């Protein structure tokens, strides 16, 4: 060891910290890319100052690798670090709150409130801890009522005060809480802003008579703005809220806030007689927005509401309204991600053939994502090609974007909370163009469709709804077991076959003549599991629970190169036969001496592949698998 390196390591050990070195790969925008992270060595027995110093030097990935338990006090500072570290998934914060509650012999709300106090300088952490606080059971929150009142009526961050009020809504009568808020400076606006966060709909509805009058221009600005947003979250008062919000739009003040509130009101509560007056008032306000501001979110919310109103109008009135709103600006497509779900928030976007489009892509997830638009029919080809790419940016600074003419458009890889704007002309040929996130392991799950139509206004005026967020269901075996007898008959072969493709099974499995062999052959899956559909479903829902040795992924390292993942087919003497991708062409032989390491991994099939499907779709897919792709199988009979 060189003398300088020896002294560096000694200094870290004296400070109470050592970590095995790990190479870090960075993107062109200096954001970290995929890299192997070594488990750190942390000395938790040292003084609190040294422990905090050690933990503060760790990346999020390293922090999560530190061993932790809830039986020894020395782990308290580790749990506090996990609770308050920016960028960690909610599940780790929840785990940390549980760990601290056990170590401190307290409860989760107490630890969340303490975490909020420690994190006042980090608004994202405060916001996430506040959401966790609101999600606690009322009986648990009751014990923390004095602390909640102190936070709600104090001078802390708005997100924390609003969450405290939302928690109090679940445990206090509306009248008493309203009186309390009026007695504290600026607290009434925080209470009203916290109303939408309260999970109990009945408790929220009790505030309708107090909130709706605050939409009047006579209320102070902060309280009125909060009331406008809260108006749409008062069950049983939808008609009154619609009327009050329409007046706000007509007044010309807080129009974008009112538009956002109206968009959250259930469409079936919009009164038909009030649609045209609101449409006219909204169009008048939209025309007042300066042209340079018409790609900003405030205008886009107004425009989106206009499109939604047009969809509710009679057909002969819908098209002129739609054209009026669309003529005010370029077609802007807004796309986001669902936090910690690994899904885009829209499964379909719509554009007009050959016309300019501006995509605004916002990543609200805790991990990196990109957006890649692909030629019709080439999604699996591009997704598989991206899987094999090293984490090296291309000439445009983009990661995991194959150099292929079938890639039509692509964004850079976005870090959490980043936004990217991409202007392009929509494809000239109408059709359904797939889009993916091509970050390693994401493309099979994160996909959607850009529907390119000949005339966008005509298409939407015909009753096609604006794209909505996908419905996510975290299916468990117990949720579907009672439905399995329906597999005996009446299933839809065409739908099952289509789902085999769209869900992503076709990229790794083969049924009859469909698909490729990368994972197990599924044509005989029914016989393999002795005709038990429950066993087949369990394997889909939990792909890592029972991996066959032949299909257990192994991470290999070849010399000093980046690691790669493959299936070990055969080990003969000094040679390993490894399958590194779909098809026989990806079966290769490697001399053992050239492979410097190997380590087992979890299934390459991601969990949650069925989360976008409903029960009938899941049954059609299972029937297709059970039939081995045979259209004459009894499952498809009447």
Q: Measuring CA to CA, how many Å separate 570 from each of 548, 550, 574, 577, 584?
A: 14, 9, 11, 5, 14
| Residue 537 contacts residue 550 (beta carbons within 8 Å) | no
- Please give the pLDDT value at position 21: 35
The confidence band for 515, taking pLDDT boundaries of 50, 70 and 90, is confident
Percentage helix, strand, coil, to 5, in the chain? 45, 15, 40
The confidence band for 4, taking pLDDT boundaries of 50, 70 and 90, is very low
How far apart are the C-alpha atoms of 86 and 97, rounded to whole Å?
A: 15
DSSP lists the bridge partners of residue 587 as: 579
Higher model confidence: residue 221 or residue 604? Answer: 221
Instruction: Say if residue 424's pLDDT is above 80.
Output: yes
- Please give the pLDDT value at position 615: 92
| Residue 606 contacts residue 507 (beta carbons within 8 Å) | no
CA-wise closest residue to 372 among 413, 417, 330, 431: 413
Q: What value does the mean pLDDT take over residues 369-391?
A: 90
The confidence band for 539, taking pLDDT boundaries of 50, 70 and 90, is confident
Q: What value does the mean pLDDT take over residues 242-252?
A: 95
Contacts of 64 (CB under 8 A, 6+ apart): 82, 88, 92
Least confident stretch, 12-26, 127-141, 271-285: 12-26
CA-wise closest residue to 332 among 310, 304, 353: 304
Q: Mapped to the 3 state alphabet, what secondary structure does 597-619 carry?
A: EEEECCCCCCCCCCCCCCHHHHH
174 SS3 class: helix
Instruction: Say if residue 5's pLDDT is above 50.
Output: no
Domains in the chain, CATH or no CATH each: 207-329 (no CATH), 331-461 (2.60.40.420), 477-636 (1.10.760.10)
Q: What value does the mean pLDDT take over residues 400-409?
A: 96
- Please give the pLDDT value at position 7: 32
CA-wise closest residue to 17 among 63, 54, 45: 54
Instruction: Say if residue 9's pLDDT is above 70.
Output: no
pTM: 0.66
The per-residue pLDDT of the chain, averaged, comes to 86
Look at the alpha carbons of 554, 558, 563, 565 in this order and tell me if their dihedral is positive or negative: negative
Instruction: Say if residue 301's pLDDT is above 50.
Output: yes
Instruction: Say if residue 322's pLDDT is above 80.
Output: yes
How far apart are the C-alpha atoms of 196 and 225, rounded to whole Å?
A: 13
How, if at all, do strands 510-511 and 514-515 pair?
antiparallel
- Please give the pLDDT value at position 155: 87
- Please give the pLDDT value at position 601: 67
- Please give the pLDDT value at position 33: 40
How far apart are the C-alpha atoms of 51 and 71, rounded to whole Å?
A: 18
Other beta carbons within 10 Å of 218: 8
Least confident stretch, 35-49, 127-141, 482-496: 35-49
H/E element, 577: strand 575-579
DSSP lists the bridge partners of residue 448 as: 435
Integer-rounded Cα radius of gyration of the chain: 28
- Please give the pLDDT value at position 587: 87
- Please give the pLDDT value at position 431: 94
- Please give the pLDDT value at position 275: 94
- Please give the pLDDT value at position 467: 62
Per-residue pLDDT tens digits for 544-600: 777 788 888 888 888 777 677 788 999 998 999 998 877 777 788 999 888 888 777
Per-residue pLDDT tens digits for 44-88: 899 999 999 999 999 888 898 898 888 889 999 999 999 999 888
- Please give the pLDDT value at position 153: 94
The confidence band for 465, taking pLDDT boundaries of 50, 70 and 90, is low
Provide the token pair at 421.
């704007």
Higher model confidence: residue 369 or residue 606? Answer: 369
Q: Measuring CA to CA, how many Å separate 283 from each of 229, 247, 312?
A: 20, 14, 15
- Please give the pLDDT value at position 311: 86
Contacts of 498 (CB under 8 A, 6+ apart): none
Provide the token pair at 360.
């605004």
- Please give the pLDDT value at position 575: 93
Other beta carbons within 10 Å of 85: 21
């Amino acid at each position: 060891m060189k003398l300088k390196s020896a002294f560096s390591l000694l200094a870290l050990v004296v400070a109470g910290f050592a970590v095995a070195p790990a190479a870090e790969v960075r993107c062109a925008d200096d954001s970290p890319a995929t890299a192997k992270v070594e488990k750190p060595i942390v000395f938790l027995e040292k003084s609190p100052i040294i422990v905090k110093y050690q933990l503060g030097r760790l990346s999020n990935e390293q922090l999560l690798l530190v061993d932790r338990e809830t039986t020894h006090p020395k782990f308290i500072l580790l749990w506090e670090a996990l609770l308050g570290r920016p960028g960690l998934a909610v599940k780790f914060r929840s785990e940390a709150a549980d760990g601290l509650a056990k170590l401190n012999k307290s409860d989760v709300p107490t630890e969340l409130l303490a975490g909020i106090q420690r994190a006042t300088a980090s608004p994202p952490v405060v916001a996430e801890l506040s959401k966790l606080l609101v999600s606690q059971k009322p009986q648990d929150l009751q014990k923390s009522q004095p602390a909640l009142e102190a936070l709600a009526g104090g001078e802390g961050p708005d997100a924390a005060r609003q969450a405290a009020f939302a928690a109090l809504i679940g445990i206090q009568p509306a009248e008493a809480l309203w009186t309390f808020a009026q007695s504290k400076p600026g607290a009434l606006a925080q209470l009203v802003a916290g109303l939408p966060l309260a999970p109990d709909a009945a408790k929220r509805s009790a505030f309708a008579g107090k909130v709706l009058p605050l939409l009047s221009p006579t209320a102070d600005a902060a309280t009125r703005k909060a009331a406008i947003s809260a108006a749409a979250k008062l069950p049983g008062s939808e008609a009154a809220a619609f009327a009050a919000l329409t007046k706000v739009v007509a007044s010309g003040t807080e129009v974008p806030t009112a538009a956002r509130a109206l968009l959250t009101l259930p469409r079936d509560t919009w009164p038909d007689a009030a649609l045209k007056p609101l449409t006219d008032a909204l169009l008048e306000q939209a025309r007042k927005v300066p042209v340079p501001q018409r790609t900003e979110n405030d205008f886009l919310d107004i425009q989106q509401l206009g499109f939604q109103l047009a969809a509710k109008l009679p057909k002969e009135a819908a098209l002129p309204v739609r054209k009026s709103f669309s003529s005010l600006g370029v077609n802007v497509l807004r796309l986001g991600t669902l936090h910690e779900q690994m899904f885009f928030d829209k499964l379909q976007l719509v554009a007009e053939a050959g016309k300019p489009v501006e995509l605004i892509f916002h990543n609200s997830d805790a991990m990196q994502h990109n957006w890649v638009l692909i030629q019709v029919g080439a999604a699996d080809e591009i997704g598989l090609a991206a899987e094999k790419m090293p984490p090296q940016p291309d000439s445009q600074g983009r990661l995991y974007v194959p150099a292929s003419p079938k890639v039509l458009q692509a964004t850079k890889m976005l870090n959490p909370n980043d936004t990217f704007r991409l202007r392009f002309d929509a494809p000239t040929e109408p059709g359904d163009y797939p889009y993916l996130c091509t970050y390693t392991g994401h493309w099979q799950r994160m996909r959607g469709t850009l529907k390119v139509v000949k005339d966008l206004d005509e298409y939407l005026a015909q009753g096609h709804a604006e794209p909505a967020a996908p419905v996510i269901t975290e299916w468990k075996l117990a949720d579907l077991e009672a439905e399995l007898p329906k597999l005996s008959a009446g299933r839809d072969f065409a739908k099952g076959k289509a789902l085999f493709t769209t869900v992503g099974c076709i990229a790794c499995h083969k049924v009859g003549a469909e698909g490729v062999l990368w994972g197990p052959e599924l044509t005989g899956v029914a016989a393999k599991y002795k005709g038990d559909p429950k066993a087949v479903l369990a394997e889909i829902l939990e792909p890592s629970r029972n991996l066959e040795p032949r299909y257990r992924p192994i991470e290999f390292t070849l010399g000093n190169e980046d690691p790669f993942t493959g299936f070990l087919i055969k080990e003969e003497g000094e040679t390993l036969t490894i399958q590194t991708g779909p098809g026989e062409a990806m079966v290769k032989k490697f001399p053992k001496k050239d492979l410097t390491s190997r380590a087992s991994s979890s299934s390459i099939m991601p969990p949650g592949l069925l989360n976008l499907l409903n029960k009938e779709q899941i049954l059609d897919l299972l029937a297709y698998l059970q039939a081995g792709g045979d259209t004459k199988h009894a499952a498809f009979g009447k």
